[in-house]
Amino acid sequence: MKVLASVAMLLLVSAAGYAADVDGKWTGTFTSPTGDLPVTFNFKADGAKLTGTTLGLDGMEVQIKDGKIADKTISFTVEFDFGGMPLALSYKGVVEADQIKMTAEVFGMPFEFVVKKAKE
């Protein structure tokens, strides 16, 4: 029984070591029909929960919602005010050492971009 408990503890500690390191500021651009637009995220991980903000087109911070972390994958949603109408975007990303390959979806149409960890 002690061996089983030891193995379980080792697996839990190992899994924590492989979790995505997303804390901090991430910046990049994505291409839109009107040209390249800047994107900024500030993430904070708490176990499997992801919280943080992004910047809206008006420069105001918007809270991310339903943030999750599973190994090196993150997912969350953001709701923007688009001319008085709510606009929800779903994001998924694969975290690497210094970048996150993001896929966002709006109105059922995906678009991809990369954000890089900002230097402090």
Spatial distance between the Cα atoms of 100 and 97, rounded to a whole number of angstroms: 8
pLDDT at site 19: 55
**The whole model's pTM is what?**
0.78
Cα–Cα nearest to 119, from 22, 20, 24, 19: 24
pLDDT in tens, 13-29: 333 444 578 999 999 99
Contacts of 81 (CB under 8 A, 6+ apart): 56, 87
| Helical (H) or strand (E) element with 3 | helix 2-17
Domain boundaries, the chain: 20-117
Rg for the chain (alpha carbons), in Å?
A: 17
Q: Which of the four pLDDT bands, split at 50, 70 and 90, describes residue 103?
A: very high
Q: Tens digits of per-residue pLDDT, 43-102?
A: 999 999 999 999 887 788 999 999 999 999 999 999 988 788 888 899 999 999 889 999
- Assess if CATH 3.40.640.10 describes domain 20-117: no
